[in-house]
Amino acid sequence: MEDISKAVERKDHRLKMSGRAEYTCDKRLEGMLYSAFVRSEIAHGRILDITLPDLPAGYVAVGGHDLYDNHLPVVTDEQPVFAVDEVCFVGEAILLLAGPDLATVRRLCRETKVTYEELPAVLTLDEATEMAAHYHYRKGDVEAAFAQAAQVVEETFTTGYQEQAYLEVQGMVAQWDAENGKMHVFGSLQAPYYVKNAVMRVLGLDDEHVRVVQQVTGGGFGGKEDYPSLIACQAAAAAKKAGAPVRVAYDRREDMTVTTKRHPSRLHYAAALDAQHRIIALKADICLDAGAYPGLSGVVLQRSVNVAAGVYKIEHLDVDGRAVITHTVPNGAFRGFGGPQSIFAMESLMNHLAAKVGMTPLAFRQMHVVQQGDDTVTGGKFHQYVPIPDLLAKVEEMSAYSRKYAAYSQPQTGRYRRGIGLSLFLHGCGFTGSAEKDILRARVILRKYADDTVEILASNVDIGQGLKTTFSKIVAAVLDLPLERIICPNPDTDRVPDSGPTVASRSLMIVGKLVERAARKLKAGWESGKEQEAVADYEAPELIPWDMDKFSGDAYPAYSWGVNVVELEEDRLTGMTKLLGVWGVFDVGKVIDNTVMLGQAEGGMLQGIGYGSMEKMEAAAGKIRQNSFTDYMIPTAMDTVPNQIAFIDNYYADGPFGAKGAGELTLLGGAPAYTAAVEQAAGKAYPNIPLTPERILAAEAK
């Protein structure tokens, strides 16, 4: 059989390149109404009065009182679909107005007067006291280890917001079928069944009477995991009240102001070193800014604490994590999901400790890296081979890291100074803990038609990451069919079983394995020319059971691994940098499609470098200041150089053809490798990202 990694033309290539792809905004239903929101203008306050202008015929306004249940289910249910008595962040939705003419709807929104009694607002993580989530775990005897340490080093790191910056803004169309009492929802989303469950609850409809269909989706990066549930409920409520289809379509400024982002964080680390420069104990105190409502913050925090020690084996550990409530836009899922904050802090700490003990960053890391069979931080095990030595050998060969590191360690004079930075990282694939087994219980169906084409029925979506292609390749490879015979349409919950959301680097590894197993079943009973079906349900691998209360056990079934190297030149006069080289070597088990995976790696690394360098987003008085692509900077192709990327095969038996999670891993190392390179060039330590030229020069001035 041909190597499955060999790239093919993507399943969605022609549809998208021809411009025929129908995104949510392209959807036109007869009699469809356009909509706009009345939103909170203050960070925190009580709503005293809402005065609507006279609505012309055909125009409706919906709010919390119109709903069967005004609680949005996203893990917890504190967030209202519409604010009713109290507003908790700037931009929180109070009402949705809908009608046939968008300009009129917008005018009516402007003419709606909301009177507030302003309440004190908590605007920063440092002021916050209310907790959305709290996790704590210990390993060994931390106090004793600190007591006998030869050296204790403490450092505080901070990270900022990051905006997903998907090209397609959030959007949803809802259509109420009054005759059958059924709600149809079409939208840009990552989790059809999350949206379905939310609409069912909020409108008080049962399983049979809500249908969710994914439209072609122009990027998600986690931003369309939880947020689409909210606008689906709002659009559906309006559609039901108006008796006409309603479209919610954000513009970019609205999207960037009110949708979820990566959690800003503060991470305090204390490391105890022995006389041989080995880290014997580590304390980490991690605090994430949840924003106004808990939502996914607890789950995000679980990942932050789970990777608090990075890829290193440390005997005594004390990790405490909190997500705190502030009166700012709620934060949520973003590629990496709590990992990038901790990986940045831990990798930076490793560099700073190495400098302190007079070792190179690489040699100091090599003293500490985990191996197969070692315990994880939560008392689980690294069951599979840990390929860190292979990754390091490969990246050394590609980048000449050590030679350049030595060269740039010599005194540098002149306007431009060079530096090179390295980061090592891991990503736990799939959901944290036992959610896959206890909550999701994914199912996949393959349906074979009389013409021997095979349709994949799963609720996972292609949001640009190539899932239609990789799923189809798996089926085609097992059944030995040409790729054209495999059909993988956008999920429609009336047709597909719940195979879970497209998040957590689980789609290919977990659901792809179900696709593979279903295909093998189909193959075993294959009868040409006959309609057949094969079903595969999730089966949990043998693991050390996860205990959420004790925060112990195998947090993940498998880990993906990576190393990044970034080389750059810093301009002493301006603090600006120019990338000279970007290298990445990854273990994602087995690559299912080379081109798809290269796209993930190049995009992920640049998104990680952007996170560490230029992607600055701040809130002033609770309002996001950088809410356009003019002011919120994501790197373009002009800001990078051709990336050098390699993959290491490390077959994983519970993934399809050996594949593991890959999408999130590639983002994790960009920020710490970038800042390490700047640190070497400038000869200073920078504990805060994004490390903008402003921050570089401010440190220079001190």
Partner 1 sequence: MVTTYRPASVLEALRLKQQAQAEALFVAGGTDIMPAGRTAPVLIYLQGIDELREVSKSEDVLRMGAGCTYTQLIGDKRIPEILRESMQEIASPAIRNVGTLAGNICNASPAGDTLPLLYVLDAILVIGHMDEQGKLRTRRLGIEAFIQGVRRIALRPSEMVLAIEIPCAAYEQMTKLQRFKAGARKAQAIAKLSFAGLCRVEGEVLQDVRIAFGAVGATVIRSWTIEAKMQGLTLTELAARRTAIVHEYGRILRPIDDQRSTAAYRRQVCLNLLEDFLRL
Among 134, 415, 550, 684, binds partner 1 (CB under 8 A): 415
Burial class for 207, CB neighbours closer than 10 Å (0-12, 13-18, 19+): exposed
CB of 635 to partner 1, least distance (A): 6
CB of 626 to partner 1, least distance (A): 5
Among 275-283, 315-323, 472-480, 628-636, the segment contacting partner 1 (CB under 8 A): 628-636
Asked if residue 681 binds partner 1 (CB under 8 A), the reply is no
| Window 484-513: residues binding partner 1 (CB under 8 A) | none
Nearer to partner 1, 589 or 610 (CB): 610
Among 451, 549, 636, 702, binds partner 1 (CB under 8 A): 636
Helix (H, G, I), strand (E, B) or coil at 46: strand
CB of 573 to partner 1, least distance (A): 4
**Contact between 513 and 660 (Cβ < 8 Å):** no
Nearest Cα to Cα of residue 384 among 116, 153, 658: 658
**Contact between 333 and 503 (Cβ < 8 Å):** yes
How far apart are the C-alpha atoms of 512 and 517, rounded to whole Å? 9
Paired with 165 in beta bridges are none
**Contact between 663 and 604 (Cβ < 8 Å):** yes
Among 172-180, 405-413, 428-436, 635-643, the segment contacting partner 1 (CB under 8 A): 635-643
How far apart are the C-alpha atoms of 181 and 243, rounded to whole Å? 11
Among 48, 573, 621, 653, binds partner 1 (CB under 8 A): 573
Q: Which amino acid is at 685?
A: A
DSSP sequence for 68-132: S--B--BSB--SBSS-SSEE-STT-EEEEEEES-HHHHHHHHHH-EEEEEE-----STTT---EE
Asked if residue 675 binds partner 1 (CB under 8 A), the reply is no
Nearer to partner 1, 338 or 575 (CB): 575
Among 41, 274, 452, 639, binds partner 1 (CB under 8 A): 639
Among 625, 649, 653, 684, binds partner 1 (CB under 8 A): 625
How far apart are the C-alpha atoms of 12 and 404, rounded to whole Å? 42
CB of 106 to partner 1, least distance (A): 12
Among 35-43, 213-221, 592-600, 688-696, the segment contacting partner 1 (CB under 8 A): 688-696
Among 575, 622, 656, 669, binds partner 1 (CB under 8 A): 575
Nearest Cα to Cα of residue 478 among 552, 536, 549, 407: 536
Compute the radius of gyration of the chain from its Cα atoms.
Answer: 25
Asked if residue 20 binds partner 1 (CB under 8 A), the reply is no
Nearer to partner 1, 407 or 573 (CB): 573
| Window 51-90: residues binding partner 1 (CB under 8 A) | none
Tokens encoding 249: 């379509």
Among 105, 614, 662, 676, binds partner 1 (CB under 8 A): 614
Asked if residue 413 binds partner 1 (CB under 8 A), the reply is no
Among 44-52, 92-100, 128-136, 622-630, the segment contacting partner 1 (CB under 8 A): 622-630
Cα torsion angle, 232, 238, 240, 243, sign: negative
CB of 630 to partner 1, least distance (A): 6
Among 11-19, 23-31, 234-242, 692-700, the segment contacting partner 1 (CB under 8 A): 692-700
Among 123-131, 292-300, 618-626, 670-678, the segment contacting partner 1 (CB under 8 A): 618-626
Asked if residue 576 binds partner 1 (CB under 8 A), the reply is yes
Among 129-137, 514-522, 540-548, 633-641, the segment contacting partner 1 (CB under 8 A): 633-641
CB of 618 to partner 1, least distance (A): 8
Among 47, 367, 548, 697, binds partner 1 (CB under 8 A): 697
DSSP 369: B
How far apart are the C-alpha atoms of 358 and 367, rounded to whole Å? 14
**Contact between 663 and 681 (Cβ < 8 Å):** no
Nearest Cα to Cα of residue 471 among 491, 493, 456, 489: 456
Q: How far apart are the first and last CA of the chain?
A: 62
Nearer to partner 1, 57 or 638 (CB): 638
Nearer to partner 1, 251 or 531 (CB): 251
CB of 579 to partner 1, least distance (A): 10
Asked if residue 574 binds partner 1 (CB under 8 A), the reply is yes
Question: One symbol per residue from 236 to 275: x for binding partner 1 (CB under 8 A), - otherwise; what is it?
Answer: ----------------------------------------
Asked if residue 656 binds partner 1 (CB under 8 A), the reply is no
Burial class for 120, CB neighbours closer than 10 Å (0-12, 13-18, 19+): exposed
Nearer to partner 1, 1 or 701 (CB): 701
Nearer to partner 1, 450 or 621 (CB): 621
CB of 622 to partner 1, least distance (A): 15
Asked if residue 638 binds partner 1 (CB under 8 A), the reply is yes
What are the helix (H) ranges across 250-338?
252-258, 297-306
Nearest Cα to Cα of residue 584 among 569, 598, 568: 598
How far apart are the C-alpha atoms of 189 and 462, rounded to whole Å? 10
Asked if residue 699 binds partner 1 (CB under 8 A), the reply is no
Phi, psi dihedral angles at 601 (to 5 degrees): -70, -45
Helices then strands, counting H and E runs in the chain, come out as 17, 25
Strands 246-249 and 33-39: parallel
Q: How many residues bind partner 1 (CB under 8 A)?
A: 24
Among 253-261, 313-321, 418-426, 632-640, the segment contacting partner 1 (CB under 8 A): 632-640
Name, in order, each residue with C-beta under 8 angstroms of 431's C-beta and a sequence gap of 6 or more.
440, 504, 506
Asked if residue 684 binds partner 1 (CB under 8 A), the reply is no
Among 299-307, 369-377, 472-480, 567-575, the segment contacting partner 1 (CB under 8 A): 567-575
Site residues, partner 1 (CB under 8 A):
415, 573-576, 614, 616, 618, 625-626, 629-631, 633, 635-636, 638-639, 692-694, 697-698, 701
